[in-house]
Structure 1
């Protein structure tokens, strides 16, 4: 773990290495800080700010490896190693953020004559540090700092516990079916995967889990309504107080959420803010919770009529065509699929047979290469699992730009969802430019038998999304760690490149080249693609209000909710649903208990970022539409130069305006989503 000469040593790193390595790096970090805060150390970039960034970089990389393995290989030994050191790491960062001597040095540097001579990146690093010190409690009275530090430590532990509870509850549930007749409607590949899972577990029949590749097809295709209802309840009550499905009392996230909300509120008030949402927004594009709430409600007002039309169509179709008079939430995906097939004469399962893994990756890489004038080449590196692949990103002349790991498949030891993370960031060092390295993680179904894995179009879109994050990290030209790649980019702008990349999944010239039928090798027929295009905005109103519901709930939870009051978290969510939702879940649904984004993933009072970034990304892609070519070289270079390469070196709104020549507009998003009334 202490070898920083090149790539992480996943072939040799062990859980027992974590404690000695991290303790050694923490000691080095504290010694460095003591030296840099001494009166004899000048408050200059070279002697202080640059030296601090460079000196702490190895610690960030090492702890990043531990956090990564906790996410992708969550076996007991790695979980224990991560959790054993988490309090010490949290304490170190809390101490760092409250160190008045460091704060004074940064303020002195900003007030010095040298500040005017610093690069744009260096100035932004200094400015961000001064802001973040204030948010980290550096200006608190000395007698309050221990309490603030304790809050930070406990929040880190609770966040990890929340995610572990969700993972444990997800893995604990299994639905075993022994009568194949009960699996009517399920695609063959879903049944084959379930049979393989049963064999692996040593049981007869077909075994279904709550992991996405298993759960999704059941909800979408299984004719057996009771099976869908059981799976739905188990999924909806993960990490909740119930013991009849997927959870145990020790996995109940209700007290974890309650405690986190109490601590976040205490944290905010200690810092002089009214609520945690104000703390969260301080480094973001949005200014106030009221501004965010107004944006979400304006979007809800435009989307809800379309959502109401969507749900009415579903209910009518369920009753008239499927004989379901009492339409329930566990029928929604199933009925939607049937209506989609009837209206557009195709199914997602039919489309899935064309998106074979080798072709999808080839198509993705060609998009990257065409847009940004780079090359993607397979490479070798130590990995944490045999499924993981490794690639180089090169310039057109063969120079190294960056590298990335690709971990595509779901595993029981891997947390759910899809995400990009960094293994190393681009920066200037004494030896030259350190090249960036990224992790791209998904949870797709692995290949069954001798056939390649096949992806739904939604999964292809997810892969493009995470690659967009990866490109933001890899294509930066930043030379200072604090603003290189996604560092320093406002949270509500960080999704712009990822959502931008999703648009290419809807371009015919891209799709035809990244499809080959799993049995025949034939590309996706144009007729089928046209049906997909026609169906693109199928139920877009319902999907929009669902995201708005999550965003409103998150913002209200962190701005107006009182953890000490009589209202519960579920009461608040139900209020939000009354305002914006069109499909009401049952009373026992416990969505917040597995809302990992805001309780385990850094999106607290920030979930709205997805909708705001959709506005930015749709408007950005409209520049290519206006040019008449999704690969227009001039627009592509401008996107690279003004958005991706600058990272966090300037405010995101300035980067957007430099690319687009104006303020962002919501019109492109509404048009792309089919929500501009005719």
Structure 2
């Protein structure tokens, strides 16, 4: 589609359909060359003390021009990946890395920022401007501004290589995910699966010109088999394919500490050599990529004077020290592990009664769902019928409209990257505030998971125009099949609310300076506060009344189902907590102890000794697909989810006290947290809203891991 609505064009939405791979590298080259000339001119024209407009705002303009070109390319590479676009994207990565390193190590630019920060003008700056200057000076130092020239060059080379390796990790994970499918021609093999899951698999087979059903490693397909398939061998086969994505073959197996005695009795099905991991062993192996990334991160930290990459990561986060992070996580683990052990014991007893005497990783989802059904007479599939996508979206919008005094409407006639994409606009008092794209469904050539990224930042341009923000909100839900609307599980509903919380943080900012607008400048361990905060309304009866309605009759979620659902809220919350703590501790320990002689899997096994209650099989290669820390922004920062969950649970407790749909409380949260973006340190913003520092009590109560909850 091409944009036909002139109102939309003034907001400078990206023209996704007009982007061709052949255009990408020449456009980026031209903009980088122009920007370099502009920066040199800017610095040559500085006479006396720099001004905000002449320095910071001028650089913001250059960054915005580059962002307008690169942001949609990066987005398309994630949601419509193909060989040509991937090649163009990767050709630009080292050039962009070099450019940003140049800026971070530009001594005259650094001196100009120092002069501005110490100028009389700075004394009258808004708090956001002061924070931006403070963070900018910090970031110059973290870019090696004070290093000798040779070490600066090494810093640049490391950053360039890390950019390349992160993209390689992501590509190999995507390729490995798409490389495995299972064609099923006998419906009996799919016994236990829901009609909707089988319809989706049938649709996938038809798209490939096949009869029967096609199982893939895209999450909706994987989830359906692991949760409902009666065939245990099928579950194990799929589990093994999924947890060995992008993993190693025989020559590399030793680096992960694999011993022949560790091998599962089923490992032989994956190849002639027991040390091969999974059906595509070695073809997309991320093992060497991880090793290089970790070595380079450690070298980078040492260059900048930090003991390890964990310390470097914390230099721009809320947490004060390695010890504080590890103490926080281990305290949660000590509190949670007894609950997790009890959850597992109950599940093992239930599975034993069902004829499974040796509960394994590929049995957890299946027997957990059956136990949930037996205990609470409820299942995700029963609930799915009450969460058609449009009802969920309508309810989500109604909640935030009531809380934040905004209105949301859907737009048409816009340029898009896929027919399923939808565009919405937020208004306040009849005036547009921002726009967001929704790309909600799983498909081929689309990165897995769910995320928000900014397509445009809210800011005041040099000509005085106020630029409105634009967000991309991406999920991987099961698409509509056989004429029915897309129906979400309740887990998917919470994912949607989570990502929309990130979107609101980006869209409802009132900060007009790019460096602190929306999520820009927000400490990474606080950035999950608005997203996890939004999830709470998925569990509140008042929220559920707005987001649920049977897809055929429109009947609201019956009271008995609501009661069962709320009763089941903390089902296996101990197991879920220790799983997240395993990921968080593994990530931080991996980066804080790199070089101590342990390899990746040995670090992971040590953490599992500490917090896990059920060990996966030895062939499991979870780290090879841990994109959050190897291809995303969460390296030595995955703990942020739990850290921010403390903040979000405590923030929501004020709504519990004052009314979960109380507009006054919503206004207070918007103005204290969402509107102020990265303009002040997160703890100051939290205290401004809550009136005190956070406590862990609300999180433990919400998760059912406290005496009060019990």
TM > 0.5 between the two? yes
* Partner Cα separation in structure 2 for residue 164 and residue 586 of structure 1: 26
- How does 1:266-285 map onto structure 2 within 5 Å? 266-285=299-318
2:298 equivalent to 1:251 = no
2:176 equivalent to 1:145 = no
2:194 equivalent to 1:187 = yes
* Partner Cα separation in structure 2 for residue 648 and residue 623 of structure 1: 22
- How does 1:539-550 map onto structure 2 within 5 Å? 539-550=572-583
Deviation at 1:250, TM superposition (A): 4.1
* Partner Cα separation in structure 1 for residue 177 and residue 279 of structure 2: 7
* Partner Cα separation in structure 2 for residue 94 and residue 25 of structure 1: 16
Partner of 1:121: 128
Do the aligned residues in 2 keep the contact of 1:235 with 1:246 (CA within 8 Å)? no
State the TM-score, normalizing by the size of structure 1: 0.97
Partner of 2:177: 170
Among 660, 669, 677, the alignment partner of 1:630 is 660
Partner of 1:662: 692
Do the aligned residues in 2 keep the contact of 1:618 with 1:669 (CA within 8 Å)? yes
Partner-residue secondary structure (3-state), 1:249: coil
Deviation at 1:342, TM superposition (A): 0.4
* Partner Cα separation in structure 1 for residue 538 and residue 297 of structure 2: 39
Among 529, 544, 559, the alignment partner of 1:526 is 559
Partner of 2:616: 585
* Partner Cα separation in structure 1 for residue 149 and residue 28 of structure 2: 27
Deviation at 1:146, TM superposition (A): 1.3
* Partner Cα separation in structure 2 for residue 342 and residue 187 of structure 1: 17
Partner of 2:531: 498
* Partner Cα separation in structure 1 for residue 517 and residue 166 of structure 2: 26
Do the aligned residues in 2 keep the contact of 1:4 with 1:58 (CA within 8 Å)? no
Deviates more, 1:117-126 or 1:268-277: 117-126
Deviation at 1:515, TM superposition (A): 2.1
Residue deviations 1:162-215, cap 9 Å, x none? 011110000110012221111111000101111111111122321100111100
Partner of 2:205: 198
* Partner Cα separation in structure 2 for residue 93 and residue 602 of structure 1: 17
Deviation at 1:568, TM superposition (A): 1.1
Do the aligned residues in 1 keep the contact of 2:459 with 2:512 (CA within 8 Å)? yes
Do the aligned residues in 1 keep the contact of 2:105 with 2:145 (CA within 8 Å)? yes
Partner-residue secondary structure (3-state), 2:699: helix
* Partner Cα separation in structure 2 for residue 46 and residue 566 of structure 1: 51
* Partner Cα separation in structure 1 for residue 230 and residue 100 of structure 2: 52
Do the aligned residues in 1 keep the contact of 2:298 with 2:594 (CA within 8 Å)? no
* Partner Cα separation in structure 2 for residue 54 and residue 237 of structure 1: 45
2:398 equivalent to 1:366 = yes
Deviation at 1:39, TM superposition (A): 6.4
- How does 1:294-313 map onto structure 2 within 5 Å? 294-313=327-346
Partner of 1:71: 78
Among 645, 648, 668, the alignment partner of 1:614 is 645
* Partner Cα separation in structure 1 for residue 692 and residue 540 of structure 2: 26
Partner of 2:18: 12
Partner-residue secondary structure (3-state), 2:525: helix
Deviates more, 1:31-40 or 1:328-337: 31-40
Do the aligned residues in 2 keep the contact of 1:197 with 1:207 (CA within 8 Å)? yes
- How does 1:335-414 map onto structure 2 within 5 Å? 335-380=367-412, 381-395=414-428, 397-414=429-446
Residue deviations 1:290-328, cap 9 Å, x none? 1100000001011111001000001111002x1100110
Partner of 2:259: none
Deviates more, 1:427-436 or 1:636-645: 427-436
Deviates more, 1:47-56 or 1:259-268: 47-56
Partner of 2:260: none
2:455 equivalent to 1:423 = yes
Distance 1:465 1:590, change over 3 A: same
Unaligned runs of 5+ in 1: none
* Partner Cα separation in structure 1 for residue 190 and residue 204 of structure 2: 15
2:65 equivalent to 1:58 = yes
* Partner Cα separation in structure 1 for residue 279 and residue 326 of structure 2: 34
Partner of 2:29: 23
2:230 equivalent to 1:223 = yes
Partner-residue secondary structure (3-state), 1:492: coil
Partner-residue secondary structure (3-state), 1:8: coil
Do the aligned residues in 1 keep the contact of 2:387 with 2:550 (CA within 8 Å)? yes
RMSD of the TM alignment (CA)? 1.3
Unaligned runs of 5+ in 2: 1-8, 250-269, 272-277
Partner of 1:35: 41
Partner-residue secondary structure (3-state), 2:17: coil
Do the aligned residues in 2 keep the contact of 1:304 with 1:545 (CA within 8 Å)? yes
Residue deviations 1:129-152, cap 9 Å, x none? 000011111111112111110000
Partner-residue secondary structure (3-state), 1:11: helix
* Partner Cα separation in structure 2 for residue 7 and residue 203 of structure 1: 39
* Partner Cα separation in structure 2 for residue 634 and residue 103 of structure 1: 43
2:683 equivalent to 1:676 = no
2:141 equivalent to 1:98 = no
Distance 1:40 1:656, change over 3 A: closer
Residue deviations 1:372-427, cap 9 Å, x none? 010001113211111100011001x2101100000011111110000000000111
- How does 1:456-535 map onto structure 2 within 5 Å? 456-535=489-568
* Partner Cα separation in structure 1 for residue 567 and residue 11 of structure 2: 51
Deviation at 1:56, TM superposition (A): 2.0
Residue deviations 1:550-576, cap 9 Å, x none? 0000001111121xx542100110000
* Partner Cα separation in structure 2 for residue 517 and residue 45 of structure 1: 55
Residue deviations 1:70-102, cap 9 Å, x none? 101101111111011111111111111111111
Among 518, 543, 560, the alignment partner of 2:593 is 560
Among 470, 475, 480, the alignment partner of 1:442 is 475
Deviation at 1:444, TM superposition (A): 0.5
Do the aligned residues in 2 keep the contact of 1:615 with 1:668 (CA within 8 Å)? yes
2:632 equivalent to 1:601 = yes
